[in-house]
Chains A and B, each alone.
Chain A
Amino acid sequence: MTQVNYFLTEEQQMIVDLAWQIAVEKIIPVRAKLDEAEEFPWDIMKDMAQADLFGLYIPEEYGGFAKGCFENCLAVEQLAYGCIAVTTTFAASALGGYPILLFGSDEQKARYLPDITSGKRLVAFGLTEANAGSDAARIQTTAVEDGDDWIINGTKQWITSGGEAEIYTIITMTNRNKGARGATAFILEKGDPGFSFGKKERKMGLNASSTRELVFNECRIPKDRMLGKKGQGFIIAMRTLDLARPGIGAMAVGLAQAALDEAVKYARQRIQFDQPIISFQAIQHMLADMATRIEASRALVYSVARTIDAGANDVAKLSAMAKLFATDMAMQVTTDAVQILGGYGYMKSYPVEKMMRDAKVLQIYEGTNQIMRNVIGKALNKEYAKK
């Protein structure tokens, strides 16, 4: 049967093959164990590093491959077919790395990017706080200048790869009076004095990823850790998220594809009333909707990623659409997959219940889907105001 042709180049196909091989050979065999043990997938991170995946988006001068958002989406989609908890850890590294790539000084890039490329050091991105989630302007972590240093105080919450990563890009308040324009980004390193980690959170799903607090108590760092300009923090965060959100969409596509595959496989072999349940239209229609939504999401995610790579400015709306549509789709598809597997679907010995638990986070993190709708809505208002 013909599949949609996305006209991948030979190199893009290589990236797909490589990420697929990791998903099949390295992730799928251990995903249930990692989930149950809530274990951080260090072995798989090493495999990804060995395969050069951490350097996809990094320029060649720092040892990377100078690929774009699209190639990143291709890799993430395949990895997510295996497990989105593992993939989130991988994607978080790009989320933490983009600010350095986009806004770092030459010196900062030279200092951090080669280690990020080689996978020697993982990166994390710290924006969220207890009282600042969707409303990022309410950040309470502060950075105050003190001679040649900055002193940071506050707590970041639910930080992916917290405690495991070596490098952290965080957003702080340097001038509360200016609101969002008073935010400034910094690069922190594990081991900086006064920088510690809170307890590891226990979650509904996404268990193989580490989610922790970053605690800054009179944390003193040198001046050269400031990322971009003073007051640029919020812009840095938004630009980073605009680039990362199609990746979340791609993750949703990979996850949903895995759920669909399980559901079809099961429906073909499960016999009830003397026939495989896939012969019942009730099941067929569910599967048909699942497959169609997946393909539509994939097409949207790929198109947005390619638009970004073509150099488009102001991609917030498109990014939000890719994330919103694909992640809502993944929630529905994984839920339907559990339904098709019936009692077996609800059991831990089948993989779909984990997929459903994991899927929920996609609608929440990197901006809730309600915020995505806000972004899209605001953009529409702006667009039509100009017409």
Chain B
Amino acid sequence: MRKITLAIAASLLVGAASPAFAVDEPENMIKYRKAVMSAIGGHTGAIAGVVKGEVSFVGHVEAHARGINEMSKLITQLFPTGTDNGAFKDTRALPAIWQDRAKFDAAAQALQDESAKLIEVAQGGDAGAIGAQLQNVGKACGGCHKPFRAEKK
């Protein structure tokens, strides 16, 4: 009896927590793209640990660089029309993305190019060179974030 009650309670809880939004709805898109961006940030943060000399995993950098490169290929799909910070409060994506889409796509391409170079540099295993190329990756991140992302409130 007790087990059955628990089972019912659990299913009710799951029901309450299940998404109220349909597949690919803007809220879900925003949540997903933030997860992808966090993945990129996670990899850059990890590489930064190596460049700063906090950890000795120079051999890991290539894997992180590949992670950034793979994620960067998804970016242009993550910004469907109407998912800007004017329409939704949980995003810092500026309407400028859709006003100058060509510039936005070029900026996303720049991250693909710079992260591809980072893969190559990482194979060399020189932490100094990795740091220098990570700086170029950072510039590519900034190339999108400066014109297209609102500052934190």
Answer yes or no: do A and B interact. no
